[in-house]
């Protein structure tokens, strides 16, 4: 199936701008005390990231006919959780990186203590937004489910757990199944959460649609990370906005290091086909989700 990229690229831009406006609104002003902490939070979140996760929230909402205003809070919350994870991931105790989104990492720009606190405060802010945003679903049971999903998938049984597996894997050899488990937790879990939070904003979803979206989310969550591993080999630092080759320099197991570059590229194509198949019960209203799956495997940053 041919997706009209010219139709969807502007929509992705629109979603990026939309979440930037929402994030600007939710982040504490930089001239309010404690100023240094607020400045660090804003520095990390408002840096030019791709906004992949909020885009997925909006795209799922659009595919399901949900008013985008209803998911601004969820889109902001997932990006804020992501930003916190990047700040902590870059710390000396973890990946010890100097460059993120083309700029000095948060602990380089500020200091280590401020970066740790900025991550902590951002994590709390994400849950504040979901519990507080008056424009999100008025159904408090659905909101509670959103909090449950976001906390579960960003915690030790999701992203933070994946990060623990990642840190323990440095210098070790993993098999493909072990690598996949790490990726599914570290990156895939938050990507799945984006789709689930949008889905929880409507009570009109059938079980079949829910299962189709879950299956789509799992495929693109993994393809995003496999492509990340590929870009660590084939990308360049200026385009990536972070150090190219950092994974291999740290002796981290990756898809290309385990199954080779070509097989990794085939893996992303296979996951894209799986994602499209999962969406087969939807009509053209889900084309934006099909486009995003293609973007994930073709991206260069
Ligand atoms: C510290 C709890 C904790 C978790 C860290 C997300 C993560 C877990 C680590 C980031 C390390 C990394 C490079 C993972 C690979 C995939 C990934 C999440 C890349 C960064 O996400 P993008 O490409 O970044 O969406 P931008 O900057 O565009 O938002």
DSSP state letters, 125-156: HHHHHHHH-TTS-S-HHHHHHHHHHHHHHHST
Q: Work out whether the CA dihedral 237, 163, 273, 173 comes out positive or negative.
A: positive
Instruction: Find the 252 Cα to ligand 1 centroid distance in Å.
Output: 15
For the segment 138-148, the average pLDDT, to the nearest whole number, is 93
Number of other residues whose CB lies within 10 A of the CB of residue 284 = 10
Which pLDDT tens digit goes with each residue over 59-99?
A: 999 999 999 999 999 999 999 999 999 999 999 999 999 99
Q: What is the pLDDT of residues 152-211, one digit of tens each?
A: 999 999 999 999 999 998 888 889 999 999 999 999 999 999 999 999 999 889 999 999
Q: Measuring CA to CA, which residue among 188, 149, 148, 185 is closest to residue 164?
A: 185
Helix (H) or strand (E) holding 104: strand 103-104
CA of 262 to the centre of ligand 1 (A): 23
**Across the chain, what does the average pLDDT equal?**
94
**Predicted confidence band at 2 (pLDDT cuts at 50, 70, 90)?**
low
Looking up tokens 């799986």, which residue turns up? Answer: 274
**Centroid of ligand 1 to alpha carbon of 82 (angstroms):** 7
Q: Which protein residue's CA is at the shortest distance from atom 24 of ligand 1?
A: 49
Largest CA distance in the chain: 53
Rounded distance from Cα 280 to ligand 1 centre (Å): 29
Number of the ligand 1 atom closest to the C-alpha atom of 48: 27
Tell me which of 186, 191, 225, 240 to substitute to probe ligand 1's pocket, judged by most ligand atoms within 8 Å of the beta carbon: 186
Torsion of CA 191, 222, 253, 298, to 10 degrees: -100
Pocket test for ligand 1, best of 86, 90, 107 (most atoms within 8 A of CB): 86
State the pLDDT at residue 253.
86
Is pLDDT above 60 for 1?
Answer: no
Ligand 1: nearest atom to the Cα of 82: 6
Ligand 1 atom at minimum distance from 83 CA: 29
Lowest mean pLDDT among 49-58, 63-72, 130-139: 130-139
- Domains of the chain by residue range: 5-298
pLDDT at 10 over 60: yes
pLDDT band with cut points at 50, 70 and 90 for residue 23 = very high
Q: 277: CA distance to ligand 1 center in Å? A: 27
For residue 13, the CA-to-ligand 1 centroid distance in Å is: 20
Reduce the DSSP state of residue 98 to 3 states and report it.
coil
Task: Tell me which residue has its CA closest to atom 2 in ligand 1.
Answer: 160
CATH 1.10.10.10 fits 5-298, yes or no: no
Q: Residue 32 Cα, ligand 1 centroid: separation in angstroms?
A: 29
What is the SS3 assignment for 2? coil
Q: Comparing 107-111, 145-149, 165-169, 287-291, which segment has the lowest mean pLDDT?
A: 165-169
Atom 29, ligand 1: which residue's CA is nearest? 49
Is the overall model pTM greater than 0.85, yes or no?
yes
- Ligand 1 shell residues, CB under 6 Å: 49-50, 52, 82, 85-86, 88-89, 101, 159-160, 163, 186-187, 225, 228
> Rounded to whole angstroms, how far apart are CA atoms 17 and 274?
30
Å from CA of 18 to ligand 1 middle? 21
């Amino acid at each position: 199936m041919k997706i009209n990229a010219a139709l969807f690229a502007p929509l992705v831009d629109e979603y990026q701008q939309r979440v930037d406006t929402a994030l600007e609104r939710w982040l504490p002003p930089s001239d309010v005390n404690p100023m240094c902490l607020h400045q660090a939070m804003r520095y990390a979140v408002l840096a030019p990231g791709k906004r992949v996760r909020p885009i997925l929230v909006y795209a799922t909402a659009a595919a399901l006919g949900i008013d985008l205003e209803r998911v601004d809070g969820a889109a902001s919350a997932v990006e804020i959780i992501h930003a916190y994870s990047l700040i902590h991931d870059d710390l000396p105790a973890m990946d010890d990186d100097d460059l993120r989104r083309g700029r000095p990492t948060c602990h380089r720009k500020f200091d280590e203590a401020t970066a740790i606190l900025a991550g902590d405060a951002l994590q709390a802010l994400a849950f504040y937004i979901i519990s507080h945003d008056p424009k999100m679903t008025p159904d408090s049971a659905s909101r509670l489910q959103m909090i449950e999903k976001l906390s579960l998938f960003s915690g030790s049984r999701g992203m933070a757990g994946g990060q623990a597996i990642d840190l323990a894997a440095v210098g070790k050899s993993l098999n493909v199944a072990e690598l996949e488990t790490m990726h599914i937790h570290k990156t895939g879990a938050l990507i799945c959460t984006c789709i689930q939070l949008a889905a929880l904003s409507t009570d009109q979803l059938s079980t079949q649609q829910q299962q189709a979206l879950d299956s789509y989310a799992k495929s693109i969550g993994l393809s995003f990370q496999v492509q990340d591993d590929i870009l660590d080999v084939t990308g360049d630092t200026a385009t990536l906005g972070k150090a190219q080759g950092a994974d291999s320099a740290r002796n981290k197991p990756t898809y290309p290091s385990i199954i080779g570059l070509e097989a990794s590229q085939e893996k992303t194509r296979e996951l894209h086909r799986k994602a499209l198949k999962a969406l087969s019960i939807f009509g053209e209203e889900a084309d934006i989700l099909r486009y995003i799956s293609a973007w994930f495997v073709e991206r260069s940053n």
